[in-house]
Amino acid sequence: MSNTSIPSTASAPDAPAASSDITGVGVSPGRVIGRVARMAPPVEAPDPAEKAAPGRSIDDEYARITDAAAVVQAELTARAETVSGDARDVLEATALMASDPTLAKAAKKLLDDGRSAERAVWEAGTSIAEQFAALGGYMGERAQDVYDVRARLVAALRGVSAPGLPNPGHPYVLVAVDLAPADTATLDPAQVIALVTSDGGPQSHTAILARALGIPAVVAAPQATTLVDGVEVYVDGTRGRVIPDPSDAERADADLAARQSEALVPFDGTGRLSDGHEVALLANIGGVKDAAAAVDANAQGVGLFRTEFLFLGRDTEPSVEEQVSDYRAVFAAFPGKKVVLRTLDAGADKPLAFLTNDDEPNPALGIRGYRTSLEKRQVLVNQLRAIQTAREAENADVWVMAPMIATADEAADFVGLCREAGLPTNGVMIEVPSAALTAAHIFATADFVSLGTNDLTQYTMAADRQLGSLSALNDPWQPAVLQLVQHVGQAGRAAVSTGASAGSASGVDAGTGAASASATTGKPVGVCGEAAADPALAVVLVGLGVTTLSMTSRAIQAVSTVLRSVTLDEAQTIAAAVVAAPTAADARRIAREHLPILETLGL
């Protein structure tokens, strides 16, 4: 496919593309060389009528099942030994389940009528998983593990690769159609040195994960399906190129990239431009583990705490006490620092059984984010109560915001609920074009806003963020998206803080980020979508009036380094030229022409 996102100021190697070269969208920078290992496809259900091969007795089929269980357990145990932390826990727990005789015995009972071992395991696994699911809570969550073991056993019985991540025994370039959040739990960046997917867009889970892990990634590359295991490829995660059988020039370039990444200056904890203008650099987190990474990266706080990640897969609403303990664990990591917590953003690609419907025709346009409170208000009220209790128990500077706000009325309603809960600093995300266009009215009640450029792009361009084939549209460099950001930046600068609505967001001059005595002009405008992690786009966003940037912790160092190469005047000049560009490709080219440091650092 053609790729409008490849910057035309590409650094080496600039050789013309060969016919075997694969192009996609570069979503996480870096250039590396490694061998391909493909993600095995999901295991298909055995036909309900599948019978044991002629001549095989029930005992033979049962022996096949117990042999397969031993193979699966050994495989998982061996893999567990190669990793640590959560990944190890997940693999050890699954290995234990594979060796548990319950499933094999349940399957044995089904072999009586001549069913194949594969079919018997499938049915027994389904029935056990359904029993777990019916129990709900922690036990309910184990249903997924049973499905996983079921699939692994059937793969072993069939003699095909186990589903999920490959294990070639050496670091590799992972090639897949796309990655589901579940696939990513055990993805080890020491093993997976780059990601290439045939589907998935720039804001897909794969792209977000790759940036979080700091590994190069190319998505929406349909030709990736032609790559076979073991072939050596050069992956350029900036330009979206994958080149099989790399030349000497590409090998030299991968070596250069390794040296360039070492040249990045560690972040010292204050985001600023070369003239001293401060732009706080914050982290996006989904829980306490990410909080630790944010602290390690010297992040100035948290600009987006995606609370729904704590509860994905849950059937029931978490209790207020449980929430308090989860929020406190995160707040405790940032004493005296800002933590912007987003209330549950359930729906669309992040369903929560206790909050969202799964039968909507267009989930991205349905009851998601703040809208879930229209039907289930108490869930939001409970969450706000939990946040306030956790806030009072810790020393973080807690700000709260709602996702998927479309109107000023909704913003006022949310801010009102937050105030009733006793929360002092309350804002909304701007991720729907209507909210961007009416930002001035939203600022009448909101203490701050944060631009969710992932959704803002999908809704502005009417392009599903998960769809690789629409990635050229789903691009935050699209001039329409940047014009909306500019509009919100202007509204933020013009917004007036009144004593009544101001929390700790007041007293901060949104233009300089510095404490101000008057506290009357300007309210903070953050960006917490993936756009903030793109060092070139970060400069443009600041030039458009954005006052803070929040991103995956891994990106902070590169964003900080590039921001320090420009003054505010220069950022504004670049932004003015970029926002007037006719296309996303032009916008990108113009920004890169003004930012030679990107080339120097290989970004």
User: Active-site residue numbers?
Assistant: 205, 528
Token pair listed for 173: 């370039």
**Residue 464 binds to ligand PEP (criterion: CB under 6 A):** no
Check residue 109 and report its DSSP letter.
Answer: H
**Count of residues binding ligand PEP (CB under 6 A)?**
10
- Tell me how crowded residue 10 is: count the other CB atoms within 10 A of its CB: 14
Cβ proximity of 440 and 495 under 8 Å: yes
Q: How far is the CB of 368 from Mg ion (least distance, A)?
A: 9
123: tokens are 């049915």
- Given a contact cutoff of 8 angstroms between Cβ atoms, the answer to whether 445 and 415 are in contact is yes
Tell me whether residue 293 or residue 577 sits nearer to ligand PEP (CB atom). 293
**Could you say which residues in the range 523-552 bind ligand PEP, by CB under 6 A?**
528-529
d(CA 329, CA 288): 6
Spell out, one character per residue from 434 to 453, where the chain touches ligand PEP: x when CB under 6 A holds, - when not.
Answer: ------------------xx
Q: Which does 304 bind (CB under 5 to 8 A by kind): Mg ion, ligand PEP, none?
A: ligand PEP
- The contact mask relative to ligand PEP for 174-193 (x = CB under 6 A, - = no) is --------------------
Q: Choose, by CB under 6 A, the member of 455, 464, 475, 534 that binds ligand PEP.
A: 455
Q: What is the spatial distance between Cα 254 and Cα 252, in angstroms, rounded to a whole number? A: 6
- Length of the chain in terms of residues written: 603
| Closest separation in Å from C-beta 542 to ligand PEP | 17
What is the closest distance, in whole angstroms, from the C-beta atom of residue 452 to Mg ion in the complex?
Answer: 4
Tell which one of 3, 343, 426, 454 touches ligand PEP (CB under 6 A).
454
Binding of ligand PEP by 431 (CB under 6 A): yes
| 306/594 with CB nearer ligand PEP | 306
Please name the residue ranges forming H helices in 187-247. 205-213
Residue 201's binding partner out of Mg ion, ligand PEP, none, with CB under 5 to 8 Å set by partner kind? none
By CB under 5 A, what part of segment 386-445 binds Mg ion?
431
Amino acid in position 229: D
- Single-letter amino acid code for the residue at 553: S
Helix and strand numbers (H, E) in the chain are: 22, 16
Give the span between the Cα atoms of 132 and 397, in whole angstroms.
40
Q: Per CB under 6 A, which of residues 312..371 are in contact with ligand PEP?
A: 345
Binding range to Mg ion, per CB under 5 A, among 11-19, 151-159, 246-254, 449-457? 449-457
Asked if 306 touches ligand PEP (CB under 6 A), the answer is yes
205 binds ligand PEP (CB under 6 A): no
**What's the farthest any 2 CA atoms get from each other in the chain?**
89
For residues 279 and 62, what is the distance between their CA atoms, to the nearest angstrom?
64
Q: What Cα–Cα distance (Å) separates residue 146 from each residue in 71, 97, 168, 366?
A: 16, 7, 24, 32
Q: Which of residues 450-469 bind Mg ion (CB under 5 A)?
A: 452, 455
Other CB atoms within a 10 A radius of the CB of residue 510 amount to 23
- CB 529 → Mg ion: shortest distance, Å? 7
Query: Minimal distance in Å, beta carbon 527 to Mg ion?
Result: 12
CA distance 79 to 73: 10
Residue number, 431 or 534, with CB nearest to Mg ion: 431
Cβ 603 vs Cβ 493: under 8 Å: no
Give the interface with ligand PEP as residue ranges (CB under 6 A). 304, 306, 345, 431, 452-455, 528-529
Contact residues: Mg ion, CB under 5 A: 431, 452, 455
